[in-house]
Structure 1
Amino acid sequence: MNISRRALLTGAGAAALGGMTAMARQHGATEVPLRVAQAAAASISPTSRNSVYTRSGAGPLYWSAYSWDYANNATLPESVWKSNVDWAASTFKSSGYTMVCTDGWVDYTQNTNANGYILSYSDSWAGDWSYWSTYCSSKGLKLGVYYNPLWVSAAAVADSTKTVTGMSGVTVGSIVDSGDYLNSNGELYWVDVTKNGAKQFIQGYVNYFKNMGVSYLRTDFWAWYEAGTTDGQTRIVAHGPANYATALEWIAEAAGDTMEVSVVMPNMYNNGANEVLYGDMVRVNNDATTGGWTHLSGGRQTWQDSWSQWDNAFCGFTGWAHRSGRGQLILDGDFLMMNTFASDAERQTAINLFTVAGSPIAISDRVDNIGSNASFYTNSDVLSLHNQGLTGKPYFNNGNLYSVDGTARDTERWMGQLPDGSWAVALFNRNDTSTVTKSVNFNTDLGIVGSADVKDMWSHTDLGSMTSFSASLAPHASRLVHVVPAETTKRYQAAFAAWGGGANFNNNHTGYSAMGFVDKLESAEAGANVTFAVQATTAGSHTVNYRYGNGNGAAGTVTVEVEGAARNVIGAPQTVSFPATADWNTWATVSGTLTLAAGLNLITIARTASDAGAINLNYIEVS
């Protein structure tokens, strides 16, 4: 039986997973001379959509209408929308929540323009998209829209006067197939991407919203479109991975860098290959529904090879952490509702997890039900981490996928490195009954040499200089601290950077610093890359040390380039050569220079088609 957005599935789960710890030991490095060929380097080919949104790190801060729609199983009344837009502007805008977004229950919206594009969120609304975009702008907010450009209203299909944009002889009804509905009520069709005019309709829909100032498009039900099924239940016609990839590609092409594309309910087949190429943001767990601890942690703990791969946010963020980071994918844990949690400890845990994972923080509490909980969204210290683009990772115990090895990653210990070289550390207790102690050793886990200053981000308290941090945590509690190393040369760990194009985490050799290193920078993985976000206080030439291993028996090369978040070139691509080391357990350091801008720099180290050999990369140091 087919169902609509009005009847979303929830998961049930067992007790939370525990974590394991792994230790890494730093060994002495051999210093070798740098070999750089500036002119011969090839440009680094993109292996992801790599938009300005993903390059900026964390997802957006915004308010969503979801909770009213879900609780009432209906489209949001315009008066409720307005009151919450006004409230969001007055309560959260000053803390950086500068967008509001509609959500689902759009099946019955049938009024369209001449090209078959819906005029408003609901036919019952007096204000159209343009009106509300202008109104939101007057409040200092951007408008986000929930809609899939592949949806076509049944009314538009039946009306022969509705034609595809730019194609006067092609009717909207000609780009769909009979019976190919979003769900059983038959009010929305899917576009058939093989039809003449399909691309023009889909990209026209994206441009329709863009031209009204919409900067965020939340597209949904992709698992149904691609596979025709979710959670083992047949839903609709299956369109297949090839058509799914085509649709995403067209949307991404039209969106460019002026619209952020959210891909909701993706199957993430083949390790998210299509999503990383064409999406900015992907949902990593089931729908929020009634929120609370079940959505955050307690729901189903096991993985499945289709939507929703992970049911709860902790497992979803952990399971897809190898796909997150600058230029890769923003992991979306769905909406948060502080009013649905049982305690302030759970509320802090939710904010801490979403912050350290780089997720968007999408408020779906409303003016009528948030109570006294608004302050959990507006903690200035916590938001300062988010605003620096923090995209952390759980502690990786080995290089296996979490979906096949439940011990591969620790869901309860998260760390992320900020562009200034400092760290965010989040420790969690997902256990329902027992108090536990969690800890991080700054040297063996983060690769910090010496001590670091530590600040608690909720009490706003400086805890002093430390070489490790431990916390005794009650059930469902957490701690979030900011760790600032004392050393003046900033060391950026590859294990906490962004991995793309086949590059991956590993710790299967000895002698590395911190959690591990990045491997697969080799000939079999042309396009593999790792990207570091580095904050420079001054523009110009900076000394960079690369710590690497190369047991391949011959020199290996990579291509290094420096860009800004907007893809502006700061330092032209250069080829860097790494002489062989005695074996893969022996590490060495190559030193050279890079041109950096004052402010944020994205340093990408990649294996291009013109490079040779292989290396493992442990870290870079920037003086």
Structure 2
Amino acid sequence: MAISRRALMTGVGAAAAVTALSRPASSAFAAAPAATDPAGSVRAATALPVASRNSVFTRQGAGPLYWNIYGWAFPHNAPIPEAEWKANVDWLATSLAPHGYRMACTDGWIEGSSRTTANGYVTTYNDSWQHDWAYWADYLADRGMTLGVYYNPLWVHKAAVADTTKTVVGRPDIRVADIVTSGDFFAKGIGGNTLYWVDVSKPGAKEYIQGYVTYFKNLGVPYLRVDFLSWYETGTDANLGTVGNSHGSAAYETALRWMHEAAGDGIELSLVMPHLNSNARNELRYGDMVRINADADKGGWARLSGGRQTHQNVWPNWHNPFCGFTGWAHRSGRGQLILDGDFLMMSTFADDHERRTAINLMTVAGSPIASADLHSNIGSYASFYTNPEVLDVHNKGLVGKPVFHNGKSYATDPASRDTERWAGQLPDGSWVVALFNRNDTNTVTKTIDFAGHLGISGSATVRDLWTHTDLGPRTSISTALAPHASQLVKVVPLTATKRYHAAFAAWGGGVNFNNNHTGHTGMGFVDKLEAASEGPTVTFAVQVPSSGTYAIGYRYANGLTSAATMTVSVQREDRTQVSGPMQVSFPKLADWDTWGTVTGTVQLAAGVNLITIGRTGTDTGAINLNHIELP
């Protein structure tokens, strides 16, 4: 059953999605007995590995469009009053919702919500609110929108602990008080000691945590924003020091796994304030979205581009979204992680250059575009959220990458990636290029060469997505940008053959970018498709007009002494199997600087297909992958 994020966010088929998509989201690529294999291929006995949650949300690419209360709650340092919430919801319904922003989401300041169900689950955002979650879910649904909720299922309100009649869902023999440890408070000593952390080692903890996710899912909530994860894992904050007890990485992984199992494809898990240890291994396995920068705070250019520019090993790894998106770009893409750059407030930027740059950055990185503006202060700035050409590439799942200069980690080599030059490929084979000038005082010219960076053969048409003008056929885009300005263009190659570059695809498991060999097209290739890598895959989103058998070419290098094999699988975004998994042979070549092309056929479905190439336990050897081509 094909249920998209947009269907879930608008409430269309949400109830059906909870039932029909309840199987574990991290299931491996299953074989389809009736699938057509490429000519000369051998059906693989082993499904492709999956090292991520791989939900329907991440498989669609870019994050959701929505509105959040942060723009009221942060400056007031208080929970938003219900009347103010309603006023903003009503404004949202008529202003941004018609353009796709069909979710209203709560945020922090939740300690004042003490009314709970018999199982200890909070029933409303704040005790001062007259109406509960169910009322507001229905209110939004009546207006074609959905309710997003900010709450961590690891929290237990002290009122539920004190009430001995509260029992764990499905376990009437266990009181809610029995799943916490005395004194183990969230924000211990600085947050009023209002919320306890769940102790995952105690009986009933799993049922409580999974029941919380299911509780929201059954209310029709498609999006759960789970915050302060670093505080749970280590009990520390980069600025505040010790903020509570350390629960450890094993307990953290257990908690995330339980949430993932309960969420399935019925609810999108947004993980906020994670340390992202071990290259985001746990977050990748069990979450859909991760915050990659510090809080939006007061907004403006200082939060978008300023602050600390270097990496640290704890949250936030990078201070601003420019650096955060760049540093975690190897973990983004379809089926991987959605990188969240936090909220935007248009009234906090100094000029329209900065406002367009904020939207352009979130768009090209595949981030959610989350407005925290208010009905009372947005004025004419709503137009920055509603540019139809920008929304079009976002809705097609755009997740771009910065220009990579080498295969080193951005955390250890800040020169390895370029925060100011980005590109991403759409399923129809076209490109989106974003150029930025983060300089505070000087006009700077930024350039993307279509052949050298994107691997485009010949020229391409270029269209500016903000001025809505065609710039004609070109072989590059080069623009002088004023301080804090940017440009977002769509690039359509004029060749009939569609070439999809691995350097801009989604990299799963242990694969990585590199350019340490010559002869490749574009800025580089993907390596580590080898036995030593954990779950190595590369996924391309490819759109075709009709179902059928298509010619396909794989441009690769194999400098080993014998042929290598890789496994190819084709699925829809909802994981429906189209063809494969199939084993494809890549003959040996002279060396790693020599590139060859293996040709064959592949069965594709009408619309968007996710073509994944990876190495299973039954494959042999290793390859570097440059691109694939289809007619």
TM over 0.5: yes
Aligned mates of 1:40, 1:532 — CA distance in 2: 20
Of 163-172 and 232-241, the range deviating more from structure 2: 232-241
Shift of 1:526: 4.8
The equivalent residue for 1:5 is: none
Does structure 1 residue 214 correspond to structure 2 residue 221? yes
Amino acid at match of 1:94: P
Aligned mates of 1:234, 1:581 — CA distance in 2: 56
Does structure 1 residue 414 correspond to structure 2 residue 422? yes
The equivalent residue for 1:39 is: 43
Aligned with 2:278 (options 270, 273, 280)? 270
Does structure 1 residue 177 correspond to structure 2 residue 185? no
The equivalent residue for 1:533 is: 541
1:426-484 per-position Cα deviation (integer Å, ceiling 9, x unaligned):
00000001100001111111111111000000000011111111100000000000000
Aligned mates of 2:450, 2:174 — CA distance in 1: 63
Shift of 1:41: 4.0
Aligned mates of 1:441, 1:45 — CA distance in 2: 35
1:259-314 per-position Cα deviation (integer Å, ceiling 9, x unaligned):
00000000000110000000000000000010000111012111100001110010
Aligned with 2:342 (options 318, 328, 334)? 334
Aligned with 1:570 (options 574, 578, 603)? 578
Does structure 1 residue 598 correspond to structure 2 residue 606? yes
Q: Which runs of 5+ in 1 are unaligned?
A: 1-33
Shift of 1:38: 3.2
Aligned with 1:100 (options 76, 99, 104)? 104
Q: State whether residues 136 and 143 of structure 1, in contact with CA within 8 Å, keep that contact through their aligned partners in structure 2.
A: yes
1:92-151 per-position Cα deviation (integer Å, ceiling 9, x unaligned):
111111111001000121111100000100111111000000000011101100000010
The equivalent residue for 1:24 is: none
Secondary structure class of the residue paired with 1:519: strand
The equivalent residue for 2:13 is: none
Aligned mates of 1:93, 1:119 — CA distance in 2: 26
Q: State whether residues 49 and 536 of structure 2, in contact with CA within 8 Å, keep that contact through their aligned partners in structure 1.
A: no
Amino acid at match of 1:483: V
The equivalent residue for 1:67 is: 71
Shift of 1:230: 1.6
Aligned mates of 1:40, 1:325 — CA distance in 2: 25
Q: State whether residues 527 and 609 of structure 1, in contact with CA within 8 Å, keep that contact through their aligned partners in structure 2.
A: no
The equivalent residue for 1:21 is: none
Q: State whether residues 402 and 409 of structure 1, in contact with CA within 8 Å, keep that contact through their aligned partners in structure 2.
A: yes
Moved over 3 A (4+): 34-38
1:388-409 per-position Cα deviation (integer Å, ceiling 9, x unaligned):
0000000000001101001000
What TM-score comes out, normalization by structure 1 length?
0.94
Amino acid at match of 1:348: R
Amino acid at match of 1:543: A
Aligned mates of 1:584, 1:229 — CA distance in 2: 46
Does structure 1 residue 54 correspond to structure 2 residue 62? no
Q: State whether residues 224 and 270 of structure 2, in contact with CA within 8 Å, keep that contact through their aligned partners in structure 1.
A: yes
Q: State whether residues 500 and 540 of structure 2, in contact with CA within 8 Å, keep that contact through their aligned partners in structure 1.
A: yes
Q: State whether residues 44 and 567 of structure 2, in contact with CA within 8 Å, keep that contact through their aligned partners in structure 1.
A: no
Does structure 1 residue 552 correspond to structure 2 residue 565? no
The equivalent residue for 2:357 is: 349
Superposition pairs of residues 476-515 of structure 1, within 5 angstroms: 476-515=484-523
Aligned mates of 1:399, 1:230 — CA distance in 2: 30
Does structure 1 residue 82 correspond to structure 2 residue 89? no
Aligned with 2:194 (options 179, 187, 197)? 187
Superposition pairs of residues 121-132 of structure 1, within 5 angstroms: 121-132=125-136
Shift of 1:35: 7.6
Superposition pairs of residues 398-409 of structure 1, within 5 angstroms: 398-409=406-417
Q: State whether residues 526 and 607 of structure 1, in contact with CA within 8 Å, keep that contact through their aligned partners in structure 2.
A: no
Aligned mates of 1:599, 1:262 — CA distance in 2: 28
Shift of 1:516: 0.3
What TM-score comes out, normalization by structure 2 length?
0.93
- 1:197 to 1:472, Cα distance in 2 relative to 1, 3 A: same
Aligned with 2:441 (options 422, 433, 444)? 433
Shift of 1:42: 1.7
Secondary structure class of the residue paired with 1:112: coil
Q: State whether residues 51 and 534 of structure 2, in contact with CA within 8 Å, keep that contact through their aligned partners in structure 1.
A: no
Q: State whether residues 108 and 150 of structure 2, in contact with CA within 8 Å, keep that contact through their aligned partners in structure 1.
A: yes
1:317-339 per-position Cα deviation (integer Å, ceiling 9, x unaligned):
00000000000000000000000
Secondary structure class of the residue paired with 1:523: coil
Aligned mates of 1:320, 1:397 — CA distance in 2: 15
Shift of 1:234: 1.1
1:206-255 per-position Cα deviation (integer Å, ceiling 9, x unaligned):
01111110000000000000011121511110101111010000001100
Secondary structure class of the residue paired with 1:372: helix
- Number of residue pairs aligned between Structure 1 and Structure 2: 590
Aligned mates of 2:45, 2:423 — CA distance in 1: 33
Aligned mates of 1:144, 1:197 — CA distance in 2: 26
The equivalent residue for 1:286 is: 294
1:556-612 per-position Cα deviation (integer Å, ceiling 9, x unaligned):
111000000000001121000000010000000000011001100000001101100
Amino acid at match of 2:151: Y
The equivalent residue for 2:211 is: 204
Amino acid at match of 1:203: Q
The equivalent residue for 2:3 is: none
Amino acid at match of 2:497: T
Does structure 1 residue 584 correspond to structure 2 residue 625? no
